[in-house]
Each structure stands twice: as C-alpha cells, then as structure tokens.
Chains A and B, each alone.
Chain A
Amino acid sequence: MSQIFTVTNLNERIKARLENDPRLHDLWAQGEVSNFVHHRSGHMYFTLKDQDSQISCVLFKGQAGGVETEVRNGMNVLLFGDVAVYRPQGRVQLVARAIKRDSGLGFRFMQFEALKKRLEEEGLFDQEQKRPLPPYPERIGIVTSLHGAALRDVLRTIGSYPARIIISPAKVQGEGAEESIVSALFALQGRTDLIIICRGGGSAEDLWCFNSEVVARAVYSCDSPVISAVGHETDVTITDFAADVRAATPTAAAKIAVPDVADLRIKLQQIQVRIARALWTDLERKEERMEYLQRSLSPARMYSLTADLRQRLDHLSDRLDSAMARELKERRSRLDGIRGRLAAVSPQATLQRGYALVRSQRGGLVMAWEDVRPGEELVLVLGRGGLRCRVMECIEEREGWE
C-alpha cells in the first residue's frame, strides 16, 4: 500500500532519517570551496566540491572559532561537522563546526581522527585500562632506534638507578617502521617490568608510524605497563593514547620510569633512623617495665606484704579460738544433759525404788539360784547402804516369793 506524503511530511521524514544517523555526525569532509558568501548575519554559506560532486555547506556565526584560516573560493579545505536537512528547501547540507586548510596532510589527518575515534570507542584508551607503573622497576625495556638521541636521553636520565636495561631496537620512521616497532615490542614479552617506547622530535611524516593501528594494539597488549614519548611536547600520537602513561619527551619518560637514586638513598637513611629509634624506644619501654616490676618486689614492699599476712593470720586465729571456746561450752552443756539422762536409767535409781543388787564374795552379780551355795556369804547393795547375809537355802521355784 503506497502512502501519499505532503512535501512537508516527506522532507521531515528525510530530515529525521538523515539526522538520526550517527555516521553522518562528527565527520570530516575534504574538498574545494566555491560560491563562498560571508553573510552580514555572520553565517558563512558555500559549496564544497570535488571533480564529480558537490554539497551545500553552512557555518553558523557561533562556530566562527572553529575556522582556522580565511576561507576563499578555490581553497582546498577539511571540514568537520554534521549532515543536516534544510526542510523549507529540501536541501541536504553540511553544517560545519570547523574548517582547516588542507595542506596535503588532510587525508592523513582524517585517518588519524577516524582511527582515534574507532579505538576510543573500542575502549583501548579507557582510563580504567591503564596499569600502574612499578615503583622500583628491575627490568626496563626500551623500544626505539639504536642510534637516536632519544635512547641516549633515556639512558642518561635513568643514570645509576640499578635496573637491567633491555634495548629492543626498532626503525622509528619511514618504510617498514610500523612492523619494526610491533616486533620490537613483542620481542620484550615476558622480559620486563616496564617498557618505554620513544623517539625524538621530527616532522609529522616522520612520526606517522606511531599513529598506526597495529602499533597502538601492540602497545595496548604489552604484558607490562608502557610509557610512550614520541616527538616533542606538542606531538600527540595514537600510540600515546594507547600507552599506560604518556610522557612529553623521552627524558620525561625516563624520569617517570625510575625513582631518583639520591631520593632513594635519603629514604633508606630515614628508614634506618626509624628502625633504630623504634628499637631504642622499645628497649626503653621494656626497661621501664622491668624497673616497675623491680620496685614492686622491693624489701619494704615485701615486709608490708608479710605484715598484712601476719595480721590476717592473727585475726583468723582469734576467730578460731573463740569458735573453739564456744564449741567446748556447747559440748559441755550437752554432756551434762546426757549425764542427767544416763543417771535416770542407772541401777542407783532402781535401787532407790526398793530393788537390791546381789554380789557374791567373788565380786560377781548373782543372777540365779544356782550361782550360790547354802551357807555362802553374799552382799546386798541397797538404795542406801548394804547388807552382809548368809544363804540359808537355794530354791529353784520362785512361787510364793513374789
């Protein structure tokens, strides 16, 4: 089913479609300026063209800061901006934000920006990916030309810092430089704690190999952290972005890589002092403790300790004495009670009730009739006094006696 658009709808649809495409934003275009008009409103209107095609361009007044050069007809320029649709005229145009003169390096510059954007999006430059540098590297790898000033600057700056230095030579400009740098980096795998990749200043073409994708990826995938120092302070390369740390110059890279030996000596001296002082303080503390313990054990202290003990002993023995006296008294009264009860059941009480004990002359008690013979003398013990008697007859039967 076909839809009928109004012209406005159609242009709106085209506009929405083109302006929502991220690939038509933040782009660089290269071409020749023609039909240039600097309107009195401050906006610039012109056409960008090459041999076969052309596109309308506008640069609004507010973006005039992005114009590096005076724009004239016939000039080759690089233009940075976004594709937009001017709806009233249904015109596709390039809304520029920056214009620079294309000095022939233009294409390379665009390549640089494109690669940078791509690798950035891929996460190769993420700050979280940056590895910390070892504070005291033992093995430092250097990737650079064996004959350049950069290597000499680095070695001079490392000075007497006691690390093993492994030079992995590379061609750092011209044909084959990229491959050479990549192999030099790979040759250092597993051999270093830290890598410095560097070269001295040069023309943009000279430094170009450090803007290569393979070099950036090789730097990124090194097994130890990489410090990159390419060219002078103002030169920034893709390699610098991919490295863990960017240094402005080779000398600066070496300064970042190793601690200053003189500082290190001072640090060691301070540690030595702290250790000695700490031991001394510890010994003093122990001595104080000993003195304290010694004081605690002095004769006076011991004497007062024993006096205390003696006093406690006296007190205890007093308490013991009175306890024993109380106990004795108690026992005595209990004994009296028992004696009274015993008296109640003694033969004396029985005798006083009218009974008598019969003792033979041999001293034994007479219990039965056959214990004695007629004519024998017996003693009767009574309640009061006694009777000496002689047996008249021994009778077995008790009838009539009771």
Chain B
Amino acid sequence: MSREEVGLEEALEELERIVSELEGGKMSLERSLELYERGMRLVRLCNLRLDSAQRRIECLTGEVPSDLL
C-alpha cells in the first residue's frame, strides 16, 4: 500500500474520532487546525480511492477471463 493510499476502514474510523474530538471542542487552536487538516486529507484520500475505479481482479490459477476485466 503506497503512502498516499489509505485503508477505508481505518480512515473512516479515524475520521469518526476526529469529528467527535473537534465537536467536543476542548483543545488548543493548534490542535483544532491540525485535526481539521488531517480530517480533510483523509476525506481526500478516501475520495481518491473511490475515484480510482480501476478494477484489481486477480485469479489464483492463472489468467482472468477477458470479459471480467
């Protein structure tokens, strides 16, 4: 997994945490901005993953039939 690629499950879990920490609103300005930037970055990475609709199909016994690609 490249550095720019993010696991959807982990990303969404982290986003939930960021949202609830931000909505709790008990942190310094630096921390708020940091969380905001991290959250926006994760959203962007998730969207990038959803956009890269390129199918990644493999077959354990050989070639994938061409009609499946």
The reply to whether chain A is a binding partner of chain B is yes
B40 adjacent to A272 (CB under 8 Å): yes
- Among B43, B59, B60, B68, the residue within 8 A (CB) of A271 is B43
For B31, the closest partner residue in chain A by CB is A282
A283 to B31, CA, bound (A): 12
Report chain A residues within 8 Å CB of B57: 155, 165, 167
Contact with B along A277-314 (1 / 0, CB 8 A): 01101110110000000000000000000000000000
A165 to B58, CA, bound (A): 6
A-B interface pairs (CB < 8 A), number: 105
Interface size on A (CB < 8 Å)? 38
Residues of chain A from 261 to 280 with CB closer than 8 A to chain B in the complex: 261, 264-265, 267-268, 271-272, 274-276, 278-279
Interface: B23 (CB within 8 A): yes
Contact with B along A65-77 (1 / 0, CB 8 A): 0000000000000
Report chain B residues within 8 Å CB of A267: 12
A152 to B12, CA, bound (A): 29
A165 to B57, CA, bound (A): 5
For B25, the closest partner residue in chain A by CB is A282
Report chain A residues within 8 Å CB of B8: 136, 138, 162, 264
The main secondary structure of chain A at its interface with chain B is helix
Interface: A195 (CB within 8 A): no
On whether A169 and B59 interact (CB within 8 A), knowing A162-B53, A268-B46, A278-B23, the answer reads yes
B36 adjacent to A279 (CB under 8 Å): yes
Report chain A residues within 8 Å CB of B43: 268, 271-272, 275
A388 to B56, CA, bound (A): 142
Interface: A146 (CB within 8 A): yes
A261 to B52, CA, bound (A): 12
For B42, the closest partner residue in chain A by CB is A271
Report chain A residues within 8 Å CB of B46: 264, 268
A264 adjacent to B32 (CB under 8 Å): no
On whether A271 and B19 interact (CB within 8 A), knowing A147-B65, A279-B33, the answer reads yes
Residues of chain B from 14 to 69 with CB closer than 8 A to chain A in the complex: 15-16, 18-19, 22-23, 25, 27, 29, 32-33, 35-36, 39-40, 43, 46-47, 49-50, 52-53, 55-61, 64-65, 67-68
| Interface set of B (CB-CB < 8 Å, partner A) | 7-9, 12, 15-16, 18-19, 22-23, 25, 27, 29, 32-33, 35-36, 39-40, 43, 46-47, 49-50, 52-53, 55-61, 64-65, 67-68
